[in-house]
Amino acid sequence: MDAQCAWDRLTRRISCLSSANGADSFGQGKNTVRMSHLFGRTLRAAPNDVEIVSHQLMLRAGMIQPLGSGLISLLPLGWRVVNKVEQIVREEMNAIGGQELLMPVVHPADIWRESGRYEQVGPEMARFKDRADRDMVLALTHEEVVTDLARQQISSYRQLPMIVYHLQTKFRDEPRSRGGLIRVREFTMKDSYSFDLDEDGLDHAYRLHWRAYDRIFRRIGLRFIIVGADVGMMGGTASHEFMAFSENGEDTILYCDQCGYAANREVATFQRDEPVHEDALSLEEIETPNTPTIQALADLLGIPTSKTAKAVFFMGSSGRFVFAVIRGDLDVNETALRNATGERTLTPATADEIKAIGAEPGYGSPVGVRDAVIVVDESVRDTPNLVAGANKPGYHFKNVNLGRDYEADIVADIATAEEGFPCVDCGHPLQVTRAIEVGNIFKLGTRYSEKLGADYLDAEGQAHPIIMGSYGIGPARSSAAVVEQRHDDKGIIWPLSIAPYHVSLIEIPSPHDDRSREIAERLYRELEEVGVEVLYDDRDERPGVKFNDADLIGIPLRVAISARNLANDQVELKLRTAKDAIFAPVDQAVAEIVRMLAEIAENEAHEFGLDVETDEPRY
């Protein structure tokens, strides 16, 4: 073993013995594989009931295999993709000073009791007892454990700031998993945590993550948008989500292409109408048969829906009845309502519950109800003389006015933003799109450090809770999002950066002529030597089968060796994205392949915007 080889082994680059260790008899090279021995077969058709494109294609390409609902095995091809995403994540996390570690998946319940989430979190957390009858849980996330680590490891302001991260399994018993890798119950997440002295430090760590995430998602070829988001069960003061555009996404995003405003629909706001100035008219009960809906009411009276008030009823998790009132042309945003009331969850009230507070389904208004938290949207505050229910079937009140006819417990912005509504920042009409959440960043503050007692001592010897942030990425989900965005009718179109292999080497067999096989074998070894990742289709299949599989799997560069081209001493090279192939002399094939790969990488860097500065975080 020469010095270079020894150094390579030390730096874990390669095993210097690989060609002699018999791996090839299993079809596996250093960074290559023979399709004849590839674990995972391609399917001509996906199961009928699989509907999401990424799910179909990854199934057909032999990248994944389902085990149960929301439980999916990654086969070698799929795992290589996800692993590459994870490596990119590692690189970018290390680049912002993140230190990788690993925390357990199984946690003692006590640590979750300390944060208060053992009781707070519902059935999505898997709970069990160990043999000593101790309560245990499977990790939904790792704030508790990392905070426990911090209280042991961090004691002085001199140690801060710090960022740690890991790639670890999470289990969330989702009420409903769906869509292949997009929504599963068990998955690996990269989660990182920042520890800082103060808000400024947290802000810095937050911005670092913002930029790192921006780079990560660009590098894997995603088209995405960064949006303001709800802090949800995490608690904390700010949150953004990285959303990959996809019709199959589960989130709805509103954005402004004029000024760049973007937000998850849950928290999106818009420019509210100017208050209407009008003298309050006297309250009047009118008969309005068969008008349980706002539309029916407006039609009957010949008025716009914006002159009506809509009542929406919920039961809060605290047991309070939440009575939301909004102008008839708008809809209540449940997340906003939840945040306004401080309720953890809201569920639609039943007819009995509605009647119990003195209201009437279909004809409800806050006038005369009792034992309810009245939440009034700004639109209702700012619009006098609305038509609202009379709390008896078939009757409404005209000229209902806040403050005169009823009082509000809370006045807030609880309206849902819709496509076309004026942007809150610039007034331009908002656009709407569906998206997949591939990453999120949270400013946690002291939510966990206070509960668990993770303090540091400042220069004066005073103890302060550590200021924390929490940041997640789902590598497998991100891979599926890439497939959603990059495919055609033939299959997946991976970017080179995360393709399972760089090159699909196809040998086209000829009867009575072993030359194509010989050349292909030689090229295979030479490419392996220079470090090109090759998926070598050495199967005894017809050309069409091989071409179709290569397209389906989505390898960026296809190299075909056939008697036909060898007659001219040529091999055929074709980009997955190109319509036509080009040809190169056999003896220059390796050099040409390497050159083309470099060119693909360069084009991708340009296409993905890696050669331009990342936008400044704006929030």
Partner RNA sequence: CGGGGAGUAGCGCAGCCCGGUUAGCGCGCAGCGUUCGGGACGCUGAGGUCGGAGGUUCAAAUCCUCUCUCCCCGACCA
Contact residues for RNA, defined by CB under 7 A: 41-52, 55, 60, 66, 68-70, 124, 140-141, 143, 170, 172, 174-179, 189, 191, 229-230, 232-234, 241, 250, 334, 345-347, 437, 440, 472, 490, 508-511, 541-545, 547-549, 551-552, 560, 562-565, 572, 574, 581
* DSSP state, residue 232: G
**Nearest residue (CB) to RNA, 153 versus 347:** 347
Joined tokens for residue 175: 């009420």
- Report which of 450, 299, 496 is spatially closest to residue 387, judged by C-alpha positions: 299
Evaluate whether 111 touches 448 at the Cβ level (below 8 Å): no
Looking up tokens 């400024």 gives 200
Evaluate whether 234 touches 442 at the Cβ level (below 8 Å): yes
End-to-end alpha-carbon separation of the chain, Å?
56
Q: What whole-number distance in Å separates Cα of residue 594 and Cα of residue 167?
A: 32
CB neighbourhood size of 95 (10 A): 12
> Taking the complex as a whole, how short is the minimal distance between the CB of residue 187 and RNA, in angstroms?
10
> Taking the complex as a whole, how short is the minimal distance between the CB of residue 551 and RNA, in angstroms?
4
**Nearest residue (CB) to RNA, 11 versus 48:** 48
Q: What whole-number distance in Å separates Cα of residue 482 and Cα of residue 84?
A: 13
Q: How far is CA 529 from the centre of its chain?
A: 38
> Taking the complex as a whole, how short is the minimal distance between the CB of residue 580 and RNA, in angstroms?
9
> Taking the complex as a whole, how short is the minimal distance between the CB of residue 586 and RNA, in angstroms?
12
Decide: helix, strand or coil at residue 192. Answer: strand
**Nearest residue (CB) to RNA, 57 versus 82:** 57
Residue 157 has phi, psi (to 5 degrees) of -60, -20
**Nearest residue (CB) to RNA, 278 versus 488:** 488
Joined tokens for residue 326: 């909004």
Question: Which helix (H) or strand (E) segment is 166 a member of?
Answer: strand 162-171
**Nearest residue (CB) to RNA, 199 versus 250:** 250
Q: What whole-number distance in Å separates Cα of residue 476 and Cα of residue 35?
A: 23
**Nearest residue (CB) to RNA, 18 versus 510:** 510
> Taking the complex as a whole, how short is the minimal distance between the CB of residue 14 and RNA, in angstroms?
32
Evaluate whether 27 touches 33 at the Cβ level (below 8 Å): yes
**Nearest residue (CB) to RNA, 196 versus 437:** 437
Q: What whole-number distance in Å separates Cα of residue 314 and Cα of residue 320?
A: 9
**Nearest residue (CB) to RNA, 24 versus 144:** 144
CA-based diameter of the chain, in Å? 100
> Taking the complex as a whole, how short is the minimal distance between the CB of residue 547 and RNA, in angstroms?
3
> Taking the complex as a whole, how short is the minimal distance between the CB of residue 268 and RNA, in angstroms?
14
Decide: helix, strand or coil at residue 320. Answer: coil
> Taking the complex as a whole, how short is the minimal distance between the CB of residue 47 and RNA, in angstroms?
3
CB neighbourhood size of 409 (10 A): 15
**Nearest residue (CB) to RNA, 563 versus 601:** 563
**Nearest residue (CB) to RNA, 388 versus 566:** 566
**Nearest residue (CB) to RNA, 111 versus 581:** 581
**Nearest residue (CB) to RNA, 156 versus 318:** 318
By residue count, the chain amounts to 619
CB neighbourhood size of 214 (10 A): 19
Q: Give the contacts of 289 (CB within 8 A, at least 6 positions apart).
A: 394
Q: Give the contacts of 334 (CB within 8 A, at least 6 positions apart).
A: 314, 346
Evaluate whether 503 touches 558 at the Cβ level (below 8 Å): yes
Burial of 609 (0-12, 13-18, 19+ CB in 10 A): middle
